[in-house]
Structure 1
Amino acid sequence: MSTSPDLSAELCYPALLARDARFDGRWFVGVTSTGVYCRPICRVRTPKAENCRFFGSAALAEAARFRPCLKCRPELAPRAGRPAWSVMDASRTLAQQAAAWLDQAEWAEDGAGSMEQLAAHLGITSRHLRRIFLAEHGVTPLQYLQTRRLLLAKQLLSDTRMPIAEVAHHAGFGSLRRFNAAFAEQYRLQPSALRRGQSLNLSACGEPRLALNYRPPFAVDALLQFLAARAIPGIEEVDLAERRISRSLRVRHQGEWLAGRVELQFDAQLPRVWLLPCSAVWPAVASLMPSLRRWLDLDAEPATIDGCLGALAQAEPGMRLPGCVDRYELAVRAVLGQQVTVAAARTLASRFVERFGEALPEGQATATVHRLFPSPARIAIAAVDEIAALGIIRRRAEALIALARAWPGSRFAAGLGTPAEVLAELQAMPGLGPWTAQYMLMRGWSWPDMFPEADVVLRKQLSPPDAPLKPREVQQAAAAFAPYRSYAVLQLWRRAALADAAKKEEKKQ
């Protein structure tokens, strides 16, 4: 039995037999003989086909009264990739935006008032929200939210020594009693049962780490080199040898902004990233984890993307689209990067941070990560001359102030609307041209099908030798990579960067 025509036993059971990692997180299997649901990669004995039910999400499996496997741990599975947006499917887009909002936001435990807030945010009624959400995800928004909370609690119980009362609080439950009741009802065991024989994943400092899994292949070096080239001193550090990233950030929790630092390190053996948040941002870990997954594009489906890109992806399979942890920060970086080199943009950003950023709170800073990116509120009251004094031309200084004053009410900031609507909104602001708006959407929204056709490097990469393509011809050439043109951009930029590095190496010799 399956939950949809796309999840038939004929399609899923062979992948289950093969323990095919390509399907990890894309669906789960519920076993009627045990009442447990698993990931397709689970190493336990494969159940008989007649005992299997296949579900497109953990929420669907739990709504059918299956409980998560304690061995393969469904809470660690990478999430299903975001479907391509279509003008013919506005309801599906709204339902996806609603799920993303639920992943990020904090809600009252009963969720009633929260659903009204979410509906108002989307500009629809709560009844319509429930209808389109159920049609897209197979569960109601409240069921989706409850599964998210319980699976986060399960991970915190398994991977940390955090007291159970704190686990309940961090997972979004209003009281320990409510948490214990929900956990026991859904999973048919007490939270303390997960602590028996617990083996923790600890950092070198003896602190617990949380695992963020992904689907291989993953072009880790390409991603880290991309981020390292753009890393702003004091804000972030990328250690290429250790495959580790550290950076400062702000995250909202219970109506307040928490400031701190996170460290992420790619596992040398397994397809996972280890997350170590500092103590200041631990309370907001529920909102933090989805944001970091999008930043590193951990939920991408590389087999599908690389298959679409064809020969372009062969040199660097598993290329990811770097997102961001702060859309405003990304917007500022995009403006500063207009018509200058990556190195020049980084220099301007460093001056901007030094002038307008704040120091990390005492006890959270390190020698290399010790400042916070300037907030929109600070830049909104800045004078054009203050910004221009940093070597930033006045037109761009005006654009930075306009962006800050539009925050957080713009569609781009709120994550609402269609790409066309957001591009129009951004380009209507002073100093924001098509390239900047497209780059902001590509990385700020992690939009998979964006292609800034005016980019000089992209045009050169797609053009035959000594025969540069015209803008319309560049667009036509890029159309072959839809709906993953953003990934094609990363591949082409990577190819150009490697070619430049090889030329420099030749000159040295």
Structure 2
Amino acid sequence: MSPATEPLQADACYLALKARDARFDGRFFTGVTSTGIYCRPVCRVRTPKRENCRFFPHAAQAESAGFRPCLRCRPELAPQSVVWSIQDAGAILAHQAVRLLEEPEAWRGESPSVEALAQRLGVSDRHVRRIFEAQFGVSPLQYLQTRRLLTAKQLLADTDLPVTQIALASGYASLRRFNAAFAEHYGLNPTQLRREGRAVGSGPAIRLAWRPPYDVDAMLAFFRTRRIAGVDDVQARKLTRTLAVESGGHKYKGWIEASFDEARHEVLLRTSESLYEALPLVIRRVRMAFDLDADPQAINALLHERFPRGDGLRVPGAFSGYEIAVRAVLGQQITVAAARTLAQRLVDRFGESIETPFEGLNRLFPEAKVLARAEGDALGQLGIVKQRQAAIVAIARAVAQGKLHLHGGADVDASIAQLKEMPGIGDWTAHYIAMRALHWPDAFPAGDVALHKALGVQGERNAARAAEAASQAWKPWRSYAVVRAWASMNDKTPGASE
């Protein structure tokens, strides 16, 4: 199998299929002509004959060709696969379009359409359709339809939510349209996919797959060293935390529990009932926080030679982009431990109380509208210097007013520029926020002191410029290079703080 920019090689795909190689999960799907079903490479059914196999880079292409998703391997569980490019303008634009379609927060209750998508991208409707057809072989609406149906399929199989609620959560305006789409594409009634005993809060969890290798220890260690008492906790192979999300104009507050099943390459997600109506958004945030959709094969092909011990490392993302932005400001030029202390004081002073079944998990990170009103010496009393006070209030106000969007569908360049215009926010903070909150794989905080030491440029007259020059060879995966460089320094140096 060649990396993503080249067409699928059918013989290589068949070998990966026969081996049930999880490294290729989500990178292609196999349509079996004798059954009319399409599967993931990891499917445990008997391997079909080579002459009965057709291979597709995306689930939407398989469904467009008339194949239905396998009920055993469940294609909706596969990590997503998106082509990254720094040279092909069509691929870049197609990727930006997918980022918008995949991000529920980008639409704030508005129903995505080709017209709205084109307007946000600053191109014509025709051009959006053209680049989608060229990159994915389907139209934007076909791609979106497949994602909606697969989201609904997962919620039907793994939760006990009412079908009407699942239809609305998946993006359908009515139950009638949802039932019609399900019958047309899958030849089934939605209730036929129900599995007895499924419940998000107490029963078997929602399964979220990743492609190996994945350094689970490193990911959980990252969150463990930055945990805030009352907000999150990491025990063994499990992370629990409180969470507040906004979906469809409503605010939902509750808790999540994410456990790592390394044998199956999956995260098992459970949530409080209070988050059920926002599950697609919660799932999206968990996938981003743990970087479950990364493609290690493509990343390691570029970074392994320079960082051979980091092949399983991922970029820790954000359960809340706004929270990461505030904590990035708190972490400027201080150690991880010091930044954590300031964040703890902030939560203790401004965080809202919440009940959970987990001992000690009882507070939410302060809402943007709360910190936006933190005038006078309210932040100074916590040990936060004035420059950082101004930055925190500026971020909180911009987020509360809907002027700053910190999620995976945001315009990266515009967001970085907007952040750098705020008081107390420079290039390091803006790129750190882009790396974690915007889930941008090519962020690079060139002024980071720990990064300079890891790259051996700390003695240069202009270390930031030297680091930037060295990083050009790692595009478009510089965020992963940063994580590997920090790991090589054991994360003990100021600059890699929050």
TM-score (norm 2): 0.88
1:235 to 226, 231, 238: 231
For residue 497 of structure 1, give the secondary structure of its aligned residue in structure 2: coil
Identify the residue that residue 341 of structure 1 maps to in structure 2. 335
Which is worse superposed, 491-500 or 51-60? 491-500
Q: Deviations over 1:275-332 (max 9, x none)?
A: 0011001111112212210110001112222232224543343101011022111111
> Matches of 1:159 and 1:446 in 2, distance apart?
26
Identify the residue that residue 141 of structure 1 maps to in structure 2. 140
> Matches of 1:309 and 1:112 in 2, distance apart?
39
How many angstroms does 1:223 deviate by? Answer: 0.7
> Matches of 1:130 and 1:465 in 2, distance apart?
47
Which is worse superposed, 21-30 or 111-120? 111-120
- Is 1:389 aligned with 2:381? yes
Identify the residue that residue 435 of structure 1 maps to in structure 2. 428
Identify the residue that residue 489 of structure 1 maps to in structure 2. 482
How has the CA–CA distance of structure 1 residues 286 and 56 changed in structure 2, closer, same or farther, with 3 Å as cutoff? same
- Amino acid of the structure 1 residue aligned with 2:340: R
- Is 1:304 aligned with 2:298? yes
Q: Which has the higher contact order (CA 8 A, sep 6+)?
A: 2
How has the CA–CA distance of structure 1 residues 117 and 256 changed in structure 2, closer, same or farther, with 3 Å as cutoff? farther
Q: Is 2:408–2:437's contact at 8 Å kept on the other side of the alignment?
A: no
Identify the residue that residue 98 of structure 2 maps to in structure 1. 99
How has the CA–CA distance of structure 1 residues 106 and 322 changed in structure 2, closer, same or farther, with 3 Å as cutoff? closer
- Amino acid of the structure 2 residue aligned with 1:291: R
1:452 to 421, 440, 445: 445
RMSD across aligned positions (CA): 3.0
Provide structure 1 residue ranges, at least 5 long, that are not aligned to the other structure: 501-509
Q: Deviations over 1:465-508 (max 9, x none)?
A: 989983333333333433322112212222222889xxxxxxxx
How has the CA–CA distance of structure 1 residues 220 and 470 changed in structure 2, closer, same or farther, with 3 Å as cutoff? same
> Matches of 2:351 and 2:268 in 1, distance apart?
28
How many angstroms does 1:350 deviate by? Answer: 1.2
Identify the residue that residue 399 of structure 1 maps to in structure 2. 391
Q: Is 2:103–2:409's contact at 8 Å kept on the other side of the alignment?
A: no
Identify the residue that residue 370 of structure 1 maps to in structure 2. 362
> Matches of 1:157 and 1:211 in 2, distance apart?
12
How has the CA–CA distance of structure 1 residues 416 and 283 changed in structure 2, closer, same or farther, with 3 Å as cutoff? closer
- Is 1:179 aligned with 2:172? no
Q: Deviations over 1:406-426 (max 9, x none)?
A: 22323656844354x443332
- Is 1:249 aligned with 2:272? no
Paired residues for 1:104-503 under 5 Å: 104-105=103-104, 114-195=113-194, 198=195, 206-239=202-235, 241=236, 243-360=237-354, 363-364=355-356, 366-407=358-399, 408-410=402-404, 415-419=409-413, 421-463=414-456, 470-497=463-490
How has the CA–CA distance of structure 1 residues 487 and 107 changed in structure 2, closer, same or farther, with 3 Å as cutoff? closer
For residue 377 of structure 1, give the secondary structure of its aligned residue in structure 2: helix
Identify the residue that residue 76 of structure 2 maps to in structure 1. 75
How many angstroms does 1:5 deviate by? Answer: 6.2
> Matches of 1:50 and 1:21 in 2, distance apart?
23
> Matches of 1:116 and 1:259 in 2, distance apart?
33
How has the CA–CA distance of structure 1 residues 476 and 176 changed in structure 2, closer, same or farther, with 3 Å as cutoff? closer
- Is 1:61 aligned with 2:54? no
How many angstroms does 1:365 deviate by? Answer: 6.3
> Matches of 1:100 and 1:466 in 2, distance apart?
39
- Amino acid of the structure 1 residue aligned with 2:32: V
How has the CA–CA distance of structure 1 residues 85 and 400 changed in structure 2, closer, same or farther, with 3 Å as cutoff? farther
TM-score (norm 1): 0.87
- Amino acid of the structure 2 residue aligned with 1:379: L
Q: Is 2:63–2:146's contact at 8 Å kept on the other side of the alignment?
A: yes
Identify the residue that residue 30 of structure 1 maps to in structure 2. 31
Q: Is 1:219–1:319's contact at 8 Å kept on the other side of the alignment?
A: yes
Identical columns (%) = 47
How many angstroms does 1:127 deviate by? Answer: 4.5
> Matches of 2:412 and 2:333 in 1, distance apart?
27
> Matches of 1:464 and 1:95 in 2, distance apart?
36
Provide structure 2 residue ranges, at least 5 long, that are not aligned to the other structure: 494-498
> Matches of 1:367 and 1:411 in 2, distance apart?
33
How many angstroms does 1:128 deviate by? Answer: 4.2
Q: Is 1:238–1:244's contact at 8 Å kept on the other side of the alignment?
A: yes
> Matches of 1:106 and 1:328 in 2, distance apart?
12
Identify the residue that residue 506 of structure 1 maps to in structure 2. none
How many angstroms does 1:66 deviate by? Answer: 0.7
How has the CA–CA distance of structure 1 residues 425 and 129 changed in structure 2, closer, same or farther, with 3 Å as cutoff? same
Q: Deviations over 1:244-274 (max 9, x none)?
A: 1111222222221111111101015220000
How many angstroms does 1:18 deviate by? Answer: 2.9
How has the CA–CA distance of structure 1 residues 181 and 46 changed in structure 2, closer, same or farther, with 3 Å as cutoff? same
Which is worse superposed, 421-430 or 328-337? 421-430
Q: Is 1:84–1:448's contact at 8 Å kept on the other side of the alignment?
A: no
> Matches of 1:323 and 1:107 in 2, distance apart?
17
> Matches of 1:350 and 1:260 in 2, distance apart?
19
> Matches of 1:325 and 1:9 in 2, distance apart?
38
